[in-house]
Amino acid sequence: MHTVKEYIDKNKKRFIDELIELLKIPSISADTAFSQDVLNTADSIMKSLKEAGCDKVELCETPGYPIIYGEKIINSDLPTVLVYGHYDVQPADPIDLWDSPPFEPVIKKTDIHPEGAIFARGACDDKGQMYMHVKALEYMTSEGKLPCNVKFMIEGEEEVGSESLAWFVPRNVEKLANDVILISDTGMIANDIPSITTGLRGLSYVEVEVTGPNRDLHSGLYGGAVANPINILSKMIASLHDENNHITIPGFYDKVEELSQAERDEMAKAPFSLEAYKNALDIDDVYGEHGYSTNERNSIRPTLDVNGIWGGYTGEGAKTVIASKAYAKISMRLVPNQNWEEITTLFKNHFENIAPKSVKVKVTPHHGGQGYVTPIDNIGYQAASKAYQETFGVVPIPQRSGGSIPIVALFEKELKSKTILMGFGLNSDAIHSPNEHFGIWNYLKGIETIPYFYKYFSELYK
């Protein structure tokens, strides 16, 4: 019999090598050129779950990419933990900005990760964090330390909106029945300041198209006399925030829940250095909604951001042209209570309303989802907190995150269970950015902490 620490020490190299192999497959769900790679990754997850001790592993077909389901049921009287994760990754571009190829993982030391970090797309989001659960299961099954039942549900479309999972979950409520859902797909404050994520923002993602004249025009012959869609789109986008950086869409804030001063004071206790924050991003100042702190702006407040904008001539040199069309992709991060479909409609109506007659506007919704907050007075949170205390030696801080995992709200609705978000990544790990990485210390710490969650959850459940 080994402690989890001894087991990790003994198997560390293999754990790292296995993750590296998984990271070599470019499972980019957004780009159909990689669909075979996404499917190959699903197969690889199946194999890993079998090897880690699942009694039953299934590839569940959906209208999109398959969902990998695995389970080890030891006794139906014992509680069941459902682990969720995703095997798809974000596109790697801009590839030029990577110091090493995104799908050729390398281990490098950094200031924050002196023990080394694995650099690859998906290292932290979410292959590395998902695989911690597979290795934690391996430890628990091979050392006879699994105290309850476990189910795995690993999907391949998280980065594109989890449409197939939203189809799958209501059709498999019985199969997915559980007492708590456990996810590692978020972050923590720092390696010496562990935190448990207690909130996620919702999302509404739309694309807009502004059309002016029926063809591209000479900007001298027509300039000044017809609407330039790029000028108009820029103006329209600029008008979506007022001088206090409040969003101007009528009704946008109607359902936003204002936190009490006591709750805000509690939040403000979390360790945070504005100087370090600015330094890490090479910015001279932060920017955001008037009346809120940086941590509030990126967690308890809704936002509207342009994610991409294009149109006209962007090649080398200068071309004098008034483009016929201009486009932008816009995301709105929402807080719990804001309904994403309602917000999408508010946006669409407003955007169409503010367009001058000289252009036509088309708004296409992409995807979205509800935000989520979890209370901390439940045994899932308490079990997680005790697990961190065991392996980090300090009490973790509850923290609401700005990111989104829209499917979590659906889990609560369909499966009626709470989700515990035990993330081991850091904000500096560059998820979705070039040079994404995941600290080896974090990876191994996750594997070490997870079995304690099972232990304490099972104890508290009695």
Binding site for Mn ion (CB under 5 A): 125-126, 185
The 3-class SS string of 147-170 reads: CCEEEEEEECCHHHCCHHHHHHHH
Find tokens 């293999």 and name the residue: 14
Which pair of structure tokens corresponds to residue 393? Answer: 């030696």
Quick one: what does residue 186 bind among Mn ion, ligand BES, none, with the CB cut-off 5 to 8 Å set by partner type?
A: ligand BES
Q: Which of 346, 364, 348 is nearest to 250 (CA)?
A: 346
Closest contact distance (angstroms) between CB of 67 and Mn ion is 15
Closest contact distance (angstroms) between CB of 402 and ligand BES is 7
Instruction: Kindly tell me which of 71 and 185 has the beta carbon lying closer to ligand BES.
Output: 185
Instruction: Kindly tell me which of 37 and 126 has the beta carbon lying closer to Mn ion.
Output: 126
Closest contact distance (angstroms) between CB of 325 and ligand BES is 25
Quick one: what does residue 436 bind among ligand BES, Mn ion, none, with the CB cut-off 5 to 8 Å set by partner type?
A: none
Alpha-carbon gap, residue 422 to 384, rounded angstroms: 7
Instruction: Kindly tell me which of 154 and 405 has the beta carbon lying closer to ligand BES.
Output: 405
Instruction: Kindly tell me which of 288 and 402 has the beta carbon lying closer to ligand BES.
Output: 402
Quick one: what does residue 240 bind among Mn ion, ligand BES, none, with the CB cut-off 5 to 8 Å set by partner type?
A: none
Quick one: what does residue 187 bind among Mn ion, ligand BES, none, with the CB cut-off 5 to 8 Å set by partner type?
A: ligand BES
Spell out the alpha helix ranges (H) of 90-215.
Answer: 127-142, 163-171
Closest contact distance (angstroms) between CB of 1 and ligand BES is 35
E strand map for 284-417: 303-311, 325-334, 360-369, 372-373, 397-400
Cβ-closest residue to ligand BES? Answer: 403
Closest contact distance (angstroms) between CB of 254 and ligand BES is 23
Quick one: what does residue 404 bind among ligand BES, Mn ion, none, with the CB cut-off 5 to 8 Å set by partner type?
A: ligand BES
Closest contact distance (angstroms) between CB of 110 and ligand BES is 19
- Residue 341 pairs with which residues in a beta bridge? none
Helices 379-392 and 440-461: crossing angle in degrees, nearest 10, is 130
Instruction: Kindly tell me which of 129 and 141 has the beta carbon lying closer to Mn ion.
Output: 129
Quick one: what does residue 198 bind among ligand BES, Mn ion, none, with the CB cut-off 5 to 8 Å set by partner type?
A: none
Indicate the SS3 state at residue 415: helix
Quick one: what does residue 203 bind among ligand BES, Mn ion, none, with the CB cut-off 5 to 8 Å set by partner type?
A: ligand BES
Closest contact distance (angstroms) between CB of 388 and ligand BES is 17
Closest contact distance (angstroms) between CB of 199 and ligand BES is 9
Closest contact distance (angstroms) between CB of 38 and Mn ion is 15
Give how far Cα 462 sits from Cα of 118, 137, 178, 201, 376, Å: 39, 22, 15, 33, 19
How many CB atoms sit inside 10 A of residue 303's CB? Answer: 18
Which pair of structure tokens corresponds to residue 18? Answer: 């296995």
Q: Which of 143, 133, 217 is nearest to 183 (CA)?
A: 133
Which pair of structure tokens corresponds to residue 227? Answer: 């609407």
- Are 15 and 444 spatial neighbours (Cβ–Cβ below 8 Å)? yes
Instruction: Kindly tell me which of 136 and 200 has the beta carbon lying closer to ligand BES.
Output: 200
Instruction: Kindly tell me which of 37 and 185 has the beta carbon lying closer to Mn ion.
Output: 185
Alpha-carbon gap, residue 84 to 182, rounded angstroms: 6
Q: Are strands 149-155 and 303-311 parallel, antiparallel or unpaired?
A: unpaired
CA angle 197, 203, 206 (to 5 degrees): 155
Give how far Cα 439 sits from Cα of 30, 129, 167, 404, 450, Å: 26, 11, 34, 22, 17
Q: Which of the 8 DSSP states describes residue 110?
A: -
Instruction: Kindly tell me which of 71 and 126 has the beta carbon lying closer to ligand BES.
Output: 126
Binding site for ligand BES (CB under 6 A): 125-126, 158-159, 161, 185-187, 200, 203, 401, 403-406
Instruction: Kindly tell me which of 331 and 458 has the beta carbon lying closer to ligand BES.
Output: 331
Instruction: Kindly tell me which of 18 and 159 has the beta carbon lying closer to ligand BES.
Output: 159
Cis amide bond preceding 271, omega within 30:
no
Quick one: what does residue 71 bind among Mn ion, ligand BES, none, with the CB cut-off 5 to 8 Å set by partner type?
A: none
Closest contact distance (angstroms) between CB of 432 and ligand BES is 6
